[in-house]
Amino acid sequence: MWNIESLDLDAYLARIGHDRVAPSPEALRSLHRAHVLAIPFENIDVILGTHPGISLEAIQAKLVGRQRGGYCYEHALLFGAALEQLGFDVVRRVARVQPHKAGPRTHALLKVGVAGEEFLADVGFGAGQLYPTPLKDGVVVDQAGWDHRLTQDGDVWTLSKQTPEGWIPQHASNDEPVRPIDYEVYHHYVSTHPHSPFTGRPVVMRVAEGEVRRLVGNTLTTEHPNTPPTERSVPPADLPEVLASLDVVLSDEEIDRLRLV
């Protein structure tokens, strides 16, 4: 159903700088971290109107071949295919973003089984999740310096982030079956609807241990744990340098079109 055999696993592993490994919880944690550190979260092709779609072939050509980034559908489908080829059990999920508000059910993530344990693998949630989260009620995972907690209510699992204002829900998901056509529909909304957060301005996010960087529109925000974030405006002339610092390298033509946006 998910066409995982079309993925060139060796090329993907080279992209994230990781060896081929046997399935284990430790291997999942290492692969998850390597993927997030190597492949940016970004929506530039959506802004430019050149998004190639979310077939695994298109995702591989973009994120692996062109060494670009993408958003949740691209990340989740690529990572899920790699995990399945390596021998992990993978279930595709959809989550409702900001479930305590009017958030849409449009986020793609994975449930991964290995060695009798289950985890949420969430490599495409912006700059939020560096590591997989054990699927256990009340578990807290340090994600690069920010605590995240997973809680269960019936069949719904909610991921929350610890903030000065308390635990803020990030997304909620369950095991309702997901088909490729569902991801296509959600991708179409996210990449075309005028109310989507990804159609009106560039969004590029990177996470490392103790640091999160976000370019949203023309504002670059840098965060470290337990300190106020810093912001700076990015003029059009600085776009190539700032994007490159976030591991997004565009052609001159793409930069010119992005400046117009």
Catalytically active residues are 72, 107, 122
What b/e string do you get for 90-114 counting C-beta neighbours within 10 Å, with b at 16 or more? Answer: bebbbbbbebeeebbebbbbbbbbb
Query: What letter would DSSP give residue 3?
Result: -
What b/e string do you get for 233-244 counting C-beta neighbours within 10 Å, with b at 16 or more? Answer: ebeeeebbebbe
Which parts of 49-176 fold into alpha helices (H)?
Answer: 56-59, 72-86
Distance CA 163, CA 128 (A): 13
Which residue, 248, 251, 254, is CA-closest to 68? 248
Strands (E), 122-218: 133-134, 139-143, 146-153, 156-163, 166-173, 203-208, 211-216
Distance CA 204, CA 219 (A): 11
SS3 37: helix
Helix (H) or strand (E) holding 252: helix 252-260
Distance CA 84, CA 249 (A): 30
Output the six-digit token pair for 23. Answer: 């399935």
